[in-house]
Amino acid sequence: MHEECGVFGIFSRSGGEGISHSCYYGLFALQHRGQESCGIAVNNDAEIICLKDMGLVGEVFSPDTLDKLQGTIAIGHVRYSTTGASTKENAQPLVTHYVKGTISIAHNGNLTNCNTLREKLEANGAIFQTTVDSEVIAYMVASERSRTPSIEAAVENVMEKIEGGYALLVMSPRKLIAARDPYGLKPLVMGDLNGDTVFASETCALAACGAKLIRDVKPGEIIIADDDGIHSVQTQPRRKAGCIFEYIYFARPDSIIDGISVYESRIRAGKLLYEQHPVDADIVIGVPESGLDAALGFSQASGIPYVKGFVKNNYIGRTFIKPSQAQRADAVRIKLNPIESAVKGKRVVMTDDSIVRGTTIANIVRMLRQAGALEVHVRISSPPFLFPCYYGTDVPSMDKLIARKYTIDEICEKIGADSLGYLDVNSLPAMLGLPKTAASDKCYCDACFTGDYPNADTGIDLLNGGGEKLEK
């Protein structure tokens, strides 16, 4: 399963009043991370009540339903699927009943060894109700808990066996556990809400519920929130490799991930694009949402006026995360409309965050020309996609990546642009505001651009057939 989701959790020490509403606000702020299904599970004196369904957060939950979700611990989840089934059964959080009681988990990421783990569990009698790898984690935690003294010890043992990228929340009858993969591939932060402990995929979710950021969960760290406070267990971290695409596309611009502002990163990307691919033009526009900040940076560096070039329909999901290509094509036609009076008769620089298959951006360039743009110069605030992602981002197999098949000049011609420029892969540290370092000292994952997968040292040869995602 390729997934890019959002998680939110809260442990209340003040009686839990309004806990489901805080979770709702957090999930609402994370809606950009998944628009197919959502759910909230609350723990009320060891009784877990879970409500989840297909649809947006505002569609699934109402004030009445939130009022019924009473408890002192809560976790929530927003999800989208691509290659897997988009069904209510796959919605999260997952609730598992086992010999020690009940646990619930919410998970963002992807396990690269999911098939092997699932087959072992099935051989031992496990019966799965979903097709998501999150259920594999739930079974493993439940199994380990029956042999360990605490839920955090069970999570630690499971982390030694699972591989890939994940931000994980586990709710037991008395504790809320947060865990981040040893590479830090998936973001996870901790905050404080009037003495209550909050975890979320992004800092924007903390702000939405009124919580203050404490810090990021460290790669390989397990944090336990209970009545006694906050406790940390540090497992063996590996080379830090946060997903670079969080800064380019996924995260909300007002979020801060591992101490780096997403907004500032996108501004810097736009400035770098002008330095690397200058052009004589009349206006700069950005494709909403993640292309807007890069357009502003390009404008600041070039002196070319930045204008609003598109009206976006905010009630439609991201075209990038639709399950099928047909849906992507349908969505882009109703999602964006060029502002004719802004672009007509103008030489336009248009920034966007990426080109994956090439179909969406070709449609956008075509719409600009139909609106009267004289020239369309496309600038992309990421390097070309050359490799698939195995950690939970919707980057397809290599045969569907346009940059694997064609040169930049050929791509330019295919999308109908007058010129095309990508961000240089060597300038990614500058985009993040980091000093340029040796490739071996990278603190981010750029495998979708370079093929440099962070867990290559574990012996999983993802590209040459050893990666289970290639076998699915």
Residue 54, H or E segment: strand 47-54
Structure-derived torsion over alpha carbons of residues 379, 424, 270, 348, reported in degrees to the nearest 10: -20
* DSSP at 3: B
End-to-end CA distance of the chain: 9
| Phi-psi map region of 333: left, alpha, beta (phi>0 left; psi -120 to 50 alpha) | alpha
Catalytic-role residue among 5, 50, 204, 445: 5
Q: Which residues pair with 77 in a beta bridge?
A: 7, 39
CB 123 within 8 A of CB 130: no
CB 288 within 8 A of CB 355: no
Is 38 assigned a catalytic role? Answer: no
Per residue, what are the HEC states of the chain?
A: CCECCEEEEEECCCCCCCHHHHHHHHHHHCHHHCCCEEEEEEEECCEEEEEEEECCHHHHCCHHHHHHCCCCEEEEEEECECCCCCCHHHCCCEEEEECCEEEEEEEEEEECCHHHHHHHHHHCCCCCCCCCHHHHHHHHHHHHHCCCCCHHHHHHHHHCCCCEEEEEEEECCCCEEEEECCCCCCCCEEEEECCEEEEECCHHHHHHHCCEEEEECCCCEEEEEECCEEEEEECCCCCCCEECHHHHHHCCCCCEECCEEHHHHHHHHHHHHHHHCCCCCCEEEECCCHHHHHHHHHHHHHCCCECCCEEECCCCCCHHHCCCHHHHHHHHHHHEEECHHHHCCCEEEEEECCCCCCHHHHHHHHHHHHCCCCEEEEEECCCCCCCCCCCCCCCCCHHHCHHHHCCHHHHHHHHCCCEEEECCHHHHHHHHCCCCCCHHHCCEECHHHHCCCHHHHHCCCCCCCCCHHHHC
- Cα four-point dihedral sign 200, 201, 207, 209: negative
Alpha helix (H) residue ranges in 210-353: 245, 262-276, 290-302, 325-335, 340-343
The residues that are catalytic are: 5
